[in-house]
Amino acid sequence: MNINMKNLIKIFVLVIVVSSVVSCQKNSRPNYQFFPNMYEAVPYETYSESDAFANGVAAQLPVDGTIPRGYTPFEIENTPEGFEYAKANLKSPLDSSEIDTPRGKELYDIYCGICHGNKGAGQGNLVKREKILGIPSYADVGRAITEGSTYHTIYYGKNAMGSYANQLNEEERWQVVAYVLKLKADLEK
Amino acid sequence: MLMKKPYQSLEVNPTNNMKQVIRRKLSASILRLSLVFLLTFSITLSAQEGDPAKGKSLFNSNCAACHQLDKKMTGPALRNVMQRLEDSEGLDREWMNAWIRNSAGMVKSGDAYANKIYNEYGGAAMTAFPQLSDQDISDILAYTAEEVQAPAAGAAQVGAAPVAGEGDSVSNKLILGALAVLFGLLAFALMLVNKTLRNFAEAKGVDLSEDKSIPLWKAFVKNQFLVIVTVIIFLLAAAYFAFGYFMQIGVDQGYQPVQPIHFSHKIHAGDNGIDCKYCHSSARVSKTSGIPSLNVCMNCHKSVYEYTGETTAEYSKEFYDGEIQKLYEAAGWSDADQKYTGEAKPVKWIRIHNLPDFAYFNHSQHVTVAGLECQTCHGPVEEMEIMYQHSPLTMGWCVNCHRDTNVKVKDNAYYTKIHEELSKKYGVEELTAAQMGGLECGKCHY
């Protein structure tokens, strides 16, 4: 009996050791690092916390009134009047040789097609799955979209649609506008 | 001259020709009468014939971008809208038709309620729907006039799923517990058998003394060859495990932290099929793939305020809805008022993929130039309920892929000349990334 008990105790200890070693391997914690200061950088990382600024974030918005290099400010305001103005007056700076339909389609499919559908009829995947409803067709008579109104809407958003100004740059937005108008023309055929 | 252009002159000065005026008034009133007659007729007709089912599909395709039945969105909630307007504002179906077909015109014409609602919603004109027929509008109004449906069916479904899930885990626990009890009993039975056998042996006078032979460990120590072999094996094994341990330091493969807001890539990229680059748009054009800012979330979550997909015991509808509320709180979005409060709080996302600063990596080079799928490095993200690091992100892993992958030269004039020269040099048709210089130290470490 004694030997039996000893063996049992040994097995018990072994189980505890193994289980504690195994349970230390947690995926919710990062691994050990050889030289941590090459992983956790000394300079500010874009999204890191930082005590250099009042709101505690390293990523800051540009100072009011500054314009990034290679960036043209969009003068038309985000108001119903601005929308009407853009609808009537704003024209695409791209001429027919600069319009890159495959690229416009690629960007459209990523950013717009998920709701507006790859044909622009308002039947994107999110609409089919009834997550977001009421997406109009580009051929909608009441809206009668123009290149100016489309650009304004991409830039500022409209109603339930948000702004895509941070996902597409100016040239890309106009490429998408050109592609949207192509879809509209196809739908109206 | 007046007689020549009677109609125009009427417009200028309607009192200078009584006869004409009377005729015009007459015709106008007849027209109006007939219109009223027509409308009352159509209303009485439509009141009976409005088809809620048709109305629902019309509502979903035309109105739902801005309106919901029971929730303020871009426009007001529309449950029983006709009834409510009749009761509180005394507006009739004619007003409704005019409003739907040309709301901007109504506002301009100075209609009191039209202006009130226009100003209440920030001067955003409702889109005109001239294409909707009387019947269409009747259908839509019939749909809005439907009673609130008791969420019995939905609740049953939602309720059933977690119960089933819990049942699974409960039965698993039961089985495991029963097994444990069984094994315990077995061990106990064996001990009892052992004891009884010993008792028998003692009773029969069988000698059970076990300590006559040398103990095993003493025999082992005496055999020097065995000791040396064992030590060598032990050292080799120790070296192997030590090497393995040191090699995985700094490798975070499988790292799966708990994020402050539970974001399911499975639902977004998998079920809904949203392109990776929709949210991680900077992966196309910059070094980092970027953590999407909350306005990207709000592009959809302004409209998607609740989860309606499949649920499990662990991830219930309440859980997901709670996470969407966390998003609203962080973005400073008031769902009740459909407005930003301006009190945003940054979300402290936990970074998973982190290359050390001595290694340069550029997403746009891989995503846009090479045209790689995100899944090549990040694994089946569209199946991950909780995001984890799929690849080791070690140098050996990078180099292996550079050796195997051909450079995509199609439609890329930048590579044409160098590809011609190098493919001649190496005598191959297609160059791998390694042959293009993808193994040079300075390409990534500088």
DSSP string, B224-259: HHHHHHHHHHHHHHHHHHHHHHHHTTT--TT--PPP
Task: Indicate whether A21 pLDDT > 80.
Answer: no
Length of chain A: 189
Cross-chain residue pair B255–A31, CB shorter than 8 Å: yes
Tell me, what DSSP letter sits at residue B87?
H
For A28, the closest of B59, B63, B257 (CB atoms) is: B257
- Judged by CB atoms closer than 8 Å, whether chains meet at B388 and A125 is answered as no
In three-state secondary structure terms, B377 is helix
**A50 contacts on B by Cβ (under 8 Å):** none
Averaged pLDDT, groups of 10, chain B, 446 residues long: 42 46 56 55 52 79 77 76 77 80 78 77 74 82 76 43 52 90 95 91 76 78 91 96 90 90 92 91 90 89 86 87 91 85 87 88 92 92 92 92 88 84 86 87 89
DSSP, collapsed to helix, strand or coil, labels residue B340 as: strand
Contact B303 A111 (CB under 8 A): no
The structure tokens listed for A94 are 């791209």
Nearest residue in chain A measured CA to CA from B302: A160
Longest CA–CA span in chain B (Å) reads 150
- Segment A126-153 shows an average pLDDT of 86
Distances (CA, A) of A43 to A38, B237, B411: 11, 42, 38
Neighbours of B411 (CB within 10 A): 8
Answer whether B125 sits within 8 Å of A46, measured CB to CB: no
Mean pLDDT for the stretch of residues A87-99: 87
Residue A131 and residue B346: Cβ atoms within 8 Å?
A: no
Q: Are B96 and B141 in contact (CB under 8 A)?
A: yes
- By C-alpha distance, the chain A residue nearest B291 is A47
Mean pLDDT of chain A: 84
B73 interfaces chain A, CB cutoff of 8 Å? yes
Contact B257 A29 (CB under 8 A): yes
Can you list the pairs that B227-234 forms with residues at least 24 positions away whose Cβ atoms lie under 8 Å? none
Q: Find residues 131-150 of chain A whose CB sits inside 8 Å of chain B.
A: 131-136, 140-143
B335 CB neighbour count, 10 Å cutoff: 16
pLDDT in tens, A23-40: 556 678 888 888 788 787
Q: pLDDT tens digits, residue range B350-388?
A: 989 988 888 999 999 999 988 899 999 999 999 999 999
- Cβ under 8 Å to A: B residues 147-206: 191, 194-195
Query: Residue B65 is which amino acid?
Result: A
Residue numbers of B between 335 and 374 with CB closer than 8 Å to A? 346, 348-349, 351, 354, 356-358
Question: Could you tell me if B48 lies within 8 Å of chain A, comparing CB atoms?
Answer: no
Quick check: ipTM above 0.90? no
Mutation site for A-interface testing, chosen from B357, B410, B412 by largest number of A Cβ within 10 Å: B357
Interval A114-125 mean pLDDT: 88
Q: Which of A166, A167, A169, A172 to mutate to test binding with chain B, by most B CBs within 10 Å of its CB?
A: A167
Looking up tokens 């569209």 gives B382
Decide if B324 touches A, using CB distance below 8 A. no
Residues 6+ apart with CB under 8 A from A106: none
CATH of domain B6-144: 1.10.760.10
Q: Which DSSP category does B47 fall into?
A: H
If you search the block for the tokens 């997406």, which residue do you land on? A135
Q: Where are the domains of chain A?
A: 80-188
- Kindly list the residues from chain B whose CB atom is less than 8 angstroms away from the CB atom of residue A188: none
The answer regarding whether domain A80-188 maps to CATH 1.10.760.10 reads yes
The residue behind tokens 């202006």 is: B115
- Which of A9-13, A117-121, B360-364, B412-416 is predicted with the least confidence, judged by mean pLDDT? A9-13
Q: Tell me the C-alpha distance between A168 and B425, whole Å.
A: 41
Give the relative orientation of helices B81-89 and B93-101 as an angle to the nearest 10 degrees: 120
Q: Of A38, A129, A135, which is closest to B356 when you measure between CB atoms?
A: A38
Name the residue ranges covered by the structural domains of chain B.
6-144, 394-446
Contact at 8 Å (CB) between B307 and B321?
Answer: yes
* B354 DSSP 8-state letter: -
Say if the Cβ atoms of A164 and B299 lie within 8 Å: yes
Sign of the dihedral through C-alpha A165, A168, A169, A170: negative
Residues of A in contact with B257 (CB under 8 A): 28-30
Mean pLDDT in residue range A77-96: 88
Chain B residues near residue A133 by CB distance under 8 angstroms: 60-61, 64-65, 303
Closest CA to B431 of B409, B407, B411: B407
Q: Do B346 and A141 touch (CB under 8 A)?
A: no
- The answer to whether the Cβ–Cβ distance between B272 and A133 falls below 8 Å is no
Contact A112, A121 (CB under 8 A): no
Nearest to B127 among A35, A56, A143 (CB): A143
- The DSSP result for A128-183, as a single string, is HTTSS--PPPTT-TTT---HHHHHHHHHH-BTTB---TTTS-HHHHHHHHHHHHHH
Phi then psi for residue B418, to 5 deg, are -65, -35
Residues 69-108 of A with CB under 8 A from B: 79-80
Q: Specify the pLDDT at position B163.
A: 42
